[in-house]
Structures are given as C-alpha cells and as structure tokens.
C-alpha cells in the first residue's frame, strides 16, 4: 500500500474530543492508528472508506522520512536497551551502539534474584540486538541523554497525584528506585518494554520501505514477547509490596498502565497486569474472580496487540512536555521526531494528564488514605482500589465483547498464589477527573 501523507483530512478529527465517532468519519483522535468504524477496523468491505482514514493516520508521520523514523527508533531502543543491559549485565551499550551518546543517569546493576536475572539477561542481550538493528538500518545519531531517575520519579509522582517536581518520598519516605529489587526493576523494564512493543508496531505502518518495515515488525514482536515474560514474572509477584510504596505489584502496575493510557490520548489501549475488562481479550466479566485473570498478552478481543505513534511515545516519556524536553529526556530526543505534537503542526494532539472532565478515559487514583488492612490468605483477592485503577468500563467498544469470539471458558480458573499475610495495600480515596 502506498503510504501517503494527508494532513488536510485532519480538521474533522480535532473537534471530536473523546466522543464516539460516526462510521466513516475517521480515526479515533490524536493520532491513534485505529479507525472507529463500527464494522471496522479490519473489515475488507470497508476498505474504500477506511482508506481515507488510514491516510489520516499516516499524518502521524507528518513529513517525516524513513530515516527520521529509524533515528526516532534509535532513541527508543537506546532508552530501553541501555537500562536493561546495565540492570542485568552491568555493562552499557558499546560505542558502536551509542555512537558517542553520553552515559545516562540512574541506571546500573539491579538487585535481582537469580530467576529474574536469568530471564532479563536474555531480554537485555536481545535489546542490545535491537540497538544493533537500528545501526544496521542506518540510524546514525548518538543515543540521547536519558535520566532514568528523573523519568521514573516523574512518572511515579504522576501516578500518586503529586505536583511536578515532587517525588514519592513525600508519601513513602524514599524516592522510587528502579534498581532496588525484582519488583521495582521488572515494573520499570516492562514500562519501557511495552512502549517499544506498541511504538514499534505503530512504526510498521508509518514506514514506506518494506524491508525496514519488516525489520521493525521483528522488533515489535520480540518486544511483545519480552513484555509477556516480564508480565508473567510480575504476576507471580503480584501481591508483593513495591518498595517504598505500601501497594502491591498489581496495584502499582495498574497505576502505571492508567498513566500510559492517559498520556497516549483518549482511546483505550493500555492494560493492567490483571484482566477483567470485556473490551479486551477478557476471559470474563461480572465474575467473582474478575480481576484475578492473568493478562500476559494485552490485546483486544480479536487477540491483536495495539499500536502507538511516535508522538504518543514521546508524550508518555516526557511526561507530556510540549517541547519534548523533560521526564526521561533532559535534553530531548535526537533527530527530527522529538515532540509529542501530532497530526498537524498546530494541534498538540495529546491531552495533558490527567484528562479533562469530558474525558471518558480512566483516571488515576489520588494518593492518600492508605488502607492498613493486611491481605491475608483468606483475601481479599482483588486488591482494594485496583479495579478503580484499571480500565474503566464506560468507553467505546472496539468490538462488542468477548462473546463475539464464540467461546467462553466457563470452567477457567484463575491462577492464584498464597497471599502474603502482612502486605499493606492502598485504597485510593478517589479519582482525579481533570
Ligand atoms: C490543526 O489543529 C488545530 C487545533 O486542533 C486546528 O485548529 C486546525 O484546524 C488543524 N489544522 C489542520 C490543517 O487540520
Ligand atoms: C463490514 O462492513 C460492511 C459494510 O459496512 C458491513 O455490512 C458488514 O456487516 C461488516 N462486517 C462485519 C463482520 O462487521
Ligand atoms: C516539515 O513540516 C514542518 C512544519 O510544516 C516544517 O517546518 C519543516 O520544514 C518540514 N520539513 C521538511 C523536511 O519538509
Ligand atoms: C565497532 O565496529 C568496528 C568496525 O566494525 C569494530 O572494528 C570494533 O571492534 C567495534 N567495536 C566494538 C566495541 O565492538
Ligand atoms: C537527573 O534527575 C535527578 C532527579 O530529578 C536530578 O536530581 C538530576 O539533577 C538529574 N541529572 C541530570 C544530569 O539531569
Ligand atoms: C506504610 O506502611 C508502613 C508500615 O506499616 C507504615 O509505617 C507507613 O506509615 C505506611 N505509609 C503510608 C504512607 O501509609
Ligand atoms: C455485568 O453487570 C452489569 C451490572 O449488573 C450489567 O449491566 C452487565 O450487562 C453485565 N455484563 C455481562 C456481560 O453480564
């Protein structure tokens, strides 16, 4: 398919806010690569209509070239790969991968159990390979300066409702340290990994050259596989506390998921560690076990992973900085694709966090009222507050429900590990709405 850049088709999108769209009127707002057609987006009969919408999606590419996209990719792979490589092996990307990029800040060898170290070492060397791919593909710019301390602490400030510039030591007596243990490192690795998985998949549609596109598809599929391993390791630890918070892995994951989902625009895409939402590949709904189902593969009911545009990725990583400087990137990204500005040069395309009042997207719980009640072997099985933090149920359905798949495994039993007796979990006092 010829990839076209059509900016003029975009005006219709700008006014649509988060309301459902009429069939044939275009994509979900802010650069989502999905159509909102009720019969779409993968309906061959609708392709003549959707061709216009796909062209609109291509506007996320704006006037960027394949070289610009490969250079953007280099930023993302450097960010993920150097963190993983240092965290597991204690070695940074070599000079042929960094191409002179400066040492980053806040990375280093993590304090990991043998099991996690082993699994994540495979991921790390594969991530080095991703870095190599970007160099083979022609990515010629140095790795950007990344401040992981700033990036993760800015994200955690957001997910606990703190003001910019604060960190969670205000609440918990210590800042977030991604290298502290299995839980903190896995949460940090998968946070970045899933931006690679979804962002690389988004680039597959934006690239013109099929050879490069195929290579980037390989990055997306392997990153998705890495993320599934990371999710499974976290699922096994889902009731463990996350230092220094008093919340569990499942709950902190839910906050991180809600953050990424809010920062990438109004559409619903990101998913937590536990699954209960029937708009996705959910096994069930209205089930006493809801919230206990493992969610290793965050997909829609068709089993498809989702995509993000570069602008969405930048917005997430820079904590919504319009200049593209902030969060993980104190000097911004290298290359031409370096701001979250999407769709057209005047629209920012992405909402600030948290969303405006009319936003149908889920919001993130505010900090406060930490529930001191321990989780015991008798329950609760659903982490208090967790369902408030994962995807809300009031958004547009991409496809009606899991029932359209025709199979509902009634006998399916959730996997459960013995609860730890003294884990404190947070109960959000409410949600932010704008
Ligand atoms: C670009 O976005 C702005 C803000 O949403 C809008 O006013 C303008 O009409 C858009 N321009 C084009 C060419 O779509
Ligand atoms: C595909 O789109 C056509 C035209 O709108 C519609 O008639 C048909 O029902 C759609 N197919 C599905 C499976 O939704
Ligand atoms: C891309 O578009 C922007 C905004 O219109 C413009 O400033 C820039 O010069 C363009 N770049 C190229 C390479 O055409
Ligand atoms: C970098 O690449 C050059 C050329 O292939 C090679 O000679 C050199 O050994 C490489 N350096 C490292 C650190 O791998
Ligand atoms: C990195 O971030 C930390 C935490 O925000 C900050 O104290 C430090 O000055 C930053 N370093 C650089 C070089 O930006
Ligand atoms: C977290 O739990 C510890 C130990 O029970 C307690 O001392 C501390 O006050 C709790 N922190 C918050 C913010 O509730
Ligand atoms: C789940 O329960 C809600 C509230 O009772 C109800 O509106 C909804 O239809 C139920 N969904 C399913 C799939 O049973």
Distance, CA 283 to ligand 7 centroid (Å)?
A: 14
Distance, CA 171 to ligand 6 centroid (Å)?
A: 9
Helix (H, G, I), strand (E, B) or coil at 95: helix
Helix (H, G, I), strand (E, B) or coil at 35: strand
In this structure, the residue with its CA closest to atom 1 of ligand 3 is: 63
**Ligand 7 and 285: CB distance under 6 A:** yes
- Rounded Cα distance between 324 and 314, Å, is 7
Q: Which atom of ligand 7 is nearest to the CA of 401?
A: 13
Are 210 and 173 a contacting pair, CB within 8 Å?
Answer: no
Listed in sequence order, the residues at least 6 apart from 66 whose beta carbon sits closer than 8 Å to its beta carbon are 207, 208, 209, 212
Q: Partners of 89 in the beta sheet?
A: none
In this structure, the residue with its CA closest to atom 6 of ligand 3 is: 63
In this structure, the residue with its CA closest to atom 2 of ligand 7 is: 286
Distance, CA 286 to ligand 7 centroid (Å)?
A: 6
In this structure, the residue with its CA closest to atom 9 of ligand 3 is: 63
Nearest Cα to 310, choosing from 194, 188, 198, 154? Answer: 198
Distance, CA 63 to ligand 3 centroid (Å)?
A: 6
Best probe residue, ligand 2, of 45, 51, 302, 400 (max atoms within 8 Å of C-beta): 45
- Rounded Cα distance between 280 and 393, Å, is 11
317, two tokens: 């990583």
Best probe residue, ligand 6, of 176, 241, 246 (max atoms within 8 Å of C-beta): 246
HSE-CB for 304 with a 13 A CA cutoff: 13
To the nearest 10 degrees (0 to 180), the angle between helices 310-317 and 66-88 is: 40
Are 68 and 203 a contacting pair, CB within 8 Å?
Answer: no
Best probe residue, ligand 4, of 91, 96, 136 (max atoms within 8 Å of C-beta): 96
Distance, CA 358 to ligand 6 centroid (Å)?
A: 35
Ligand nearest to the CA of 94: 4
**Ligand 4 and 2: CB distance under 6 A:** no
Pairing of strands 293-294, 274-275: antiparallel
Q: What is the pLDDT of residue 345?
A: 44
Distance, CA 150 to ligand 5 centroid (Å)?
A: 6
Distance, CA 149 to ligand 5 centroid (Å)?
A: 7
Using CB distances shorter than 6 Å, the residues near ligand 6 are 171-172, 246, 370, 424
- Rounded Cα distance between 34 and 60, Å, is 12
Q: Which residues of 234-254 are buried (b: 16+ CB within 10 A; e: fewer)?
A: bbbbbbbbbebbbbbbbbbbb
Distance, CA 77 to ligand 7 centroid (Å)?
A: 42
Per-residue pLDDT of the chain in tens (434 residues, 90 and over written 9)? 333 322 222 222 222 222 222 233 344 444 556 555 555 556 666 666 555 555 545 555 667 888 999 999 999 999 999 999 999 999 999 999 999 999 999 999 999 999 999 999 999 999 999 999 999 999 999 999 999 999 999 999 888 778 778 899 998 999 999 999 999 999 999 999 999 999 999 888 788 888 999 999 999 999 999 999 999 999 999 888 899 987 888 888 878 887 887 777 666 678 888 765 555 554 544 455 555 567 888 887 667 788 888 888 988 898 888 889 999 999 999 999 998 875 444 444 444 443 333 333 444 433 333 333 444 445 444 444 444 443 333 333 444 455 555 555 444 444 443 333 222 222 222 222 22
Distance, CA 46 to ligand 2 centroid (Å)?
A: 7
Domains of the chain, by residue range, sit at 2-432
Q: What is the pLDDT of residue 190?
A: 98
Using CB distances shorter than 6 Å, the residues near ligand 2 are 39, 43, 45-46
DSSP 273-306: SEE--TTBT-S-SS-TTTT-EE-SS--BTT----
Q: What is the pLDDT of residue 278?
A: 54
């Amino acid at each position: 398919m010829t990839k076209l850049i059509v900016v003029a088709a975009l005006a219709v999108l700008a006014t649509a806010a988060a309301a459902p769209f009429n069939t044939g009127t275009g994509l979900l707002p802010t650069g989502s690569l999905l159509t909102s057609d009720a019969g779409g987006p993968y309906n061959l009969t609708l392709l003549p209509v959707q061709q216009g919408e796909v062209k609109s999606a291509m506007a996320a590419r704006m006037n960027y070239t394949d070289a610009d996209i490969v250079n953007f990719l280099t930023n993302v792979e450097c960010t993920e790969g150097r963190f993983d490589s240092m965290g597991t092996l204690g070695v940074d990307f070599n000079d042929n991968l960094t191409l002179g990029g400066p040492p980053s800040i806040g990375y280093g060898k993590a304090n990991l159990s043998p099991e996690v170290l082993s699994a994540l070492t495979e991921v790390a060397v594969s991530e080095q390979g991703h870095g190599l791919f970007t160099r083979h593909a022609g990515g010629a710019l140095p790795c950007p300066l990344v401040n992981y301390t700033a990036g993760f602490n800015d994200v955690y400030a957001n997910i606990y409702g703190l003001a910019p510039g604060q960190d969670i030591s205000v609440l918990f007596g210590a800042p977030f340290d991604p290298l502290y243990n299995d839980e903190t490192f896995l949460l940090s690795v998968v946070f970045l990994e899933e931006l690679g998985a979804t962002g690389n998949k988004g680039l597959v549609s934006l690239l013109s050259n099929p050879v490069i596109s195929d290579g980037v598809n390989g990055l997306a599929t392997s990153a998705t596989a890495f993320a599934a391993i990371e999710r499974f390791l976290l699922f096994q630890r889902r009731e463990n506390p996350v230092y220094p918070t008093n919340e569990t892995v499942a709950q902190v994951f839910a906050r991180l998921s809600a953050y990424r989902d809010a920062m990438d625009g109004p559409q619903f895409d990101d998913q937590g560690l536990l699954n209960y939402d029937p708009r996705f590949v959910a096994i069930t709904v209205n089930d006493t076990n809801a919230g206990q189902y493992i969610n290793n593969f965050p997909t829609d009911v068709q089993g498809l992973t989702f995509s993000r545009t570069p602008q969405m990725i930048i917005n997430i990583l820079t904590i919504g900085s319009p200049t593209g400087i902030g969060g993980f990137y104190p000097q911004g990204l290298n290359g031409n694709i370096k701001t979250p500005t999407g769709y057209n040069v005047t629209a920012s395309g992405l909402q600030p966090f948290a969303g405006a009042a009319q936003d149908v997207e889920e919001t993130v719980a505010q900090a406060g009222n930490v529930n001191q009640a321990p989780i015991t072997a008798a329950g609760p099985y659903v982490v208090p507050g967790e369902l408030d933090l994962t995807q809300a149920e009031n958004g547009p359905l991409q496809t009606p429900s899991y029932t359209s798949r025709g199979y509902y495994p009634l006998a399916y039993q959730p996997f459960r590990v013995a609860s730890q007796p003294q884990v404190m979990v947070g109960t959000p006092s409410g949600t932010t709405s704008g």
